[in-house]
Amino acid sequence: MMVTVALFGVLTLVALAPIAIAILAVPLSGKPNATGFVYGACLIVTLILFLLALHVLLEHPAASTITLPLGLPWLGAHFRIDPLSAFFLVVVNLGSAAASLYALGYGRHEEAPQRVLPFFPVYLAAMNLVVLADDAFSFLLSWELMSLSSWALVIADHRRAENMRAGYVYLLMASFGTLTLLLSFGLMAGGDGAYAFDAIRASHPALGTAALVVILALIGAGSKAGLVPLHAWLPLAHPAAPSHVSALMSGVMTKVAVYGFIRIAFDLLGPPQWWWSLVVLALGGVTAVMGVLYALMQRDLKRVLAYSTIENIGLIFASLGLALAFKAYGMHVAAALALTAALLHVFNHSLFKSLLFFGAGSVLTSTGTRDMEKLGGLIHRMPQTAFVFLIGCTAIAALPPLNGFVSEWLSFQAILLSPQLPSWGLKLMVPAVGALLALSAALAAACFVRAFGIVFLGRPRSSKAGAALETDTNSLAAMYALAATCLIVGILPGIFIDALAPVTQMLTGARMPVQTGAEWMSIVPIAESRSSYNGLLVFVFMVITGMATAFAIHRFASDKIRRGPAWGCGYPDASPLTQYSASSFAQPIRRVFGSLVFRAREIGTMPPPGSRAPATLTVQLRDLIWDFAYAPVANAVASIAERLNYLQFLTIRSYLTLVFAALVILLTVLATWP
């Protein structure tokens, strides 16, 4: 029943694409208003789907399935809503609804709406379908649809060469990821092709096969989610798309990839092996640190956000690895805690990353640039955007009382349970990963202090930044809604943790203790004696002390203020370029970590005395992962292709000879085969 309604919603979204094309093609009353229609309809449909999924998650934990006579004739198309897919439907549709609302305003600035509007609803529908699919064929088909429609959105602004390159890299990596997922499903389905998820669940693959499946799924889903070293496409593609699509790709599509991994590793494969978690944990920890280090080195605002997505994906995968480890050793409550941490972070990240990308999009439309070195002082020109962006930054930097802190705190609570694990490998590994996560959390705070401070504080670094205007109401409404949700999750996390209980019950066989009954709305992951956290109290304390401080200052100090010119350090009339810049803010971290991780080199030239030439400081960074993992492959393919190129220009007789020789060789093999 529920799944039928959900499929109707998806069908409506798919139907919007041709309608969008039709409206674009036939301008009604002179000026086409396809933008408003498409995004409005997307908003309504995704809101309905969101409410439906929420209803299923909270009220109907039992799975509901449907089989349609589509796709492979002997298989049909299976769809299903269970708590896991309901939770991810909530994430997908909340993000989609926010993006649609934002795009009602943002979409008006689009230069070529015909390159965005038809693909946008299809993209939303595809993400929903991936989560709904209940057989390998439908899953992979929806997965590819999701990749292709998002690719079309990435190259929407096709005149810029870097976007086309981003699209090309994205397409390659997406095909590669789908290939590994295909292999993994093929291994699970076995020789007789049981592609329905029910059949896969019922069959228990051999240990070696299951291990191979997990590795392949980790590569396939991880390449879509942005796990290092498979992340190379993500910081190129996510910023290239229009901002509301960037928000969806970073905030939602990476989560769909996480869903794919959870579905395979926790649900389809049955009981895990303990050493799987080693791989997932290690990749998660490395991804978190690398992602945030990359983010700190960037000067493109949207690219900073994209790299920060990689960091958060690392955190999520580390928690998932922990959950796998606990589950493998039968520690179900601990597994439920780690899984709850991962899922709550999935939800939280979809909120604040969408919010931040919306903010970046607003900055982009009102200043025309994403380069942080050309921004600054926007808090005066765009106060509301600055306010919500600040909330997003606080949340993603995991500061209480916002939601990012809750999920990261839960992750660390799960890490603190690791000494109970019997395996020495994990006992040593988990604290190391915990240290990596702590490092990445600290660096993320620095990263977002930098992002907010350079973009919104100080003085404008370019005339365009000085002339920026506040963004429109629809965009602001979307951002305020997300910011409010961030705050609510932060101060009342118990409700959300309890809502995740059906999912953990389904995947780990246990749930976290009921939180809503705890005193003072605290959350108590394990026991009162160990640890508890109360976001509401922290929030109330901060509000009261803040107000008291403000009152005290105004009461006792305001009339003591004298206004005078600021001391100019001896340089009157300083240029805005003498402010702290994005690169100078990152310099200490670049010197500590970058010289190792990025081979960062600073080359300073000082003109001789008397010369009027300016001194220069050039920073060289190398992306070692690209240089050592991607470039060799690309070069090898290019050189092989170059060598084989002459095959394009043979004579007809040579081609015939080639065919003939191939035939004779094959026959000879057949004749001499033992």
Partner 1 sequence: MQGIGFDIAHMLAGSLVLMSFIQLYQQRLSALLNVFALHALVLALSVAWQAYVQNAPHLYITALIALVFKAIVIPLALRRIVIRLGIHREIENVFGVGLAMLLGIGLVALSMVVMLRVTSGADPLAREDLAFALSVVLLGLLMMVTRRNAVSQVVGFMSLENGLVLAATGAKGMPLVVEISVAFSVLIAFIVIGIFLFRIRERFDTVDMRAMDRFREEQR
Phi, psi of 617 (to 5 degrees): -135, 115
Whole-number Å distance between alpha carbons of 55 and 71: 29
Closest CB 673 distance from partner 1, rounded Å: 8
DSSP-assigned letter for residue 626: I
Q: Which of 118, 130, 128, 105 is nearest to 244 (CA)?
A: 105
Closest CB 647 distance from partner 1, rounded Å: 13
DSSP-assigned letter for residue 268: I
Map the footprint of partner 1 across residues 51-110, applying CB under 8 A. Answer: none
Closest CB 660 distance from partner 1, rounded Å: 5
Amino acid identity of 665? I
- The residue from 22, 70, 495, 667 that contacts partner 1 (CB under 8 A) is 667
Q: Rg of the Cα trace of the chain? A: 27
DSSP-assigned letter for residue 473: H
Candidate segments 230-238, 422-430, 601-609, 658-666, binder of partner 1 by CB under 8 A: 658-666
Amino acid identity of 484? A
In this complex, which beta carbon is closest to partner 1, that of residue 568 or of residue 674? 674
In this complex, which beta carbon is closest to partner 1, that of residue 558 or of residue 672? 672
Candidate segments 97-105, 137-145, 602-610, 657-665, binder of partner 1 by CB under 8 A: 657-665
Contacts of 507 (CB under 8 A, 6+ apart): 84, 262, 266, 267, 339
Closest CB 663 distance from partner 1, rounded Å: 7
Whole-number Å distance between alpha carbons of 41 and 46: 8
In this complex, which beta carbon is closest to partner 1, that of residue 571 or of residue 646? 646
- Secondary structure (3-state) at 111: coil
Closest CB 643 distance from partner 1, rounded Å: 17
Retrieve residue 314's tokens. 């690392």
In this complex, which beta carbon is closest to partner 1, that of residue 29 or of residue 651? 651
Closest CB 265 distance from partner 1, rounded Å: 45
Phi, psi of 619 (to 5 degrees): -105, 125
In this complex, which beta carbon is closest to partner 1, that of residue 11 or of residue 659? 659
In this complex, which beta carbon is closest to partner 1, that of residue 551 or of residue 655? 655
Whole-number Å distance between alpha carbons of 150 and 310: 18
In this complex, which beta carbon is closest to partner 1, that of residue 33 or of residue 657? 657
435 binds partner 1 (CB under 8 A): no
In this complex, which beta carbon is closest to partner 1, that of residue 558 or of residue 651? 651
Closest CB 662 distance from partner 1, rounded Å: 11
Q: Identify the residue whose tokens are 């995991």.
A: 398
Candidate segments 110-118, 138-146, 535-543, 666-674, binder of partner 1 by CB under 8 A: 666-674
Amino acid identity of 642? E
In this complex, which beta carbon is closest to partner 1, that of residue 112 or of residue 650? 650
DSSP 214-230: HHHHHHHHHHHHT-TTS
Candidate segments 223-231, 294-302, 326-334, 663-671, binder of partner 1 by CB under 8 A: 663-671
HSE, CB side, 13 Å, CA atoms: give it for residue 442.
6
In this complex, which beta carbon is closest to partner 1, that of residue 571 or of residue 649? 649
Map the footprint of partner 1 across residues 595-654, applying CB under 8 A. Answer: 649, 651-653
Closest CB 656 distance from partner 1, rounded Å: 5
Amino acid identity of 621? L
- The residue from 207, 527, 557, 670 that contacts partner 1 (CB under 8 A) is 670
Q: Which of 248, 326, 247 is nearest to 280 (CA)?
A: 326
Asked if 395 and 344 touch (Cβ cutoff 8 Å), the reply is: no
Contacts of 541 (CB under 8 A, 6+ apart): none
In this complex, which beta carbon is closest to partner 1, that of residue 618 or of residue 651? 651
- The residue from 565, 645, 671, 674 that contacts partner 1 (CB under 8 A) is 671
656 binds partner 1 (CB under 8 A): yes
Per-residue x/- marks for partner 1, 250-289, CB under 8 A?
----------------------------------------
Asked if 169 and 233 touch (Cβ cutoff 8 Å), the reply is: yes
Closest CB 642 distance from partner 1, rounded Å: 15
**77 DSSP β-pair partners:** 68
DSSP-assigned letter for residue 592: I
Whole-number Å distance between alpha carbons of 47 and 17: 18
In this complex, which beta carbon is closest to partner 1, that of residue 516 or of residue 657? 657
Closest CB 372 distance from partner 1, rounded Å: 49
Closest CB 639 distance from partner 1, rounded Å: 21
- The residue from 4, 175, 605, 668 that contacts partner 1 (CB under 8 A) is 668
- 389-425: b or e for each residue (b if 16 or more CB lie within 10 Å)? bbbbbbbbbbebbbbbbbbbbbbbbbbbbbeebebee
Closest CB 665 distance from partner 1, rounded Å: 10
Contacts of 362 (CB under 8 A, 6+ apart): 106, 243, 382, 385, 471, 475, 479
Asked if 445 and 397 touch (Cβ cutoff 8 Å), the reply is: yes
657 binds partner 1 (CB under 8 A): yes
Closest CB 664 distance from partner 1, rounded Å: 7
Closest CB 657 distance from partner 1, rounded Å: 5
Map the footprint of partner 1 across residues 467-526, applying CB under 8 A. Answer: none
Closest CB 1 distance from partner 1, rounded Å: 51
In this complex, which beta carbon is closest to partner 1, that of residue 570 or of residue 674? 674
Distances in Å between the Cα of 340 and the Cα atoms of 320, 414, 530, 535 are 9, 10, 18, 17
Candidate segments 14-22, 88-96, 480-488, 661-669, binder of partner 1 by CB under 8 A: 661-669
In this complex, which beta carbon is closest to partner 1, that of residue 618 or of residue 672? 672
In this complex, which beta carbon is closest to partner 1, that of residue 595 or of residue 657? 657
Candidate segments 59-67, 105-113, 540-548, 665-673, binder of partner 1 by CB under 8 A: 665-673
In this complex, which beta carbon is closest to partner 1, that of residue 68 or of residue 659? 659
Contacts of 639 (CB under 8 A, 6+ apart): none
- The residue from 541, 551, 626, 660 that contacts partner 1 (CB under 8 A) is 660
Q: What element of type H or E holds 618? A: strand 616-620
Binding-site size for partner 1 (CB under 8 A) equals 14
Closest CB 669 distance from partner 1, rounded Å: 10
Q: What element of type H or E holds 604? A: strand 601-605
Distances in Å between the Cα of 214 and the Cα atoms of 379, 439, 621 are 47, 28, 34
Q: What's the CA angle centered on 487, arms 481 and 491, to 5 degrees?
A: 145
Give the footprint of partner 1 on this chain (CB under 8 A). Answer: 649, 651-653, 656-657, 659-660, 663-664, 667-668, 670-671
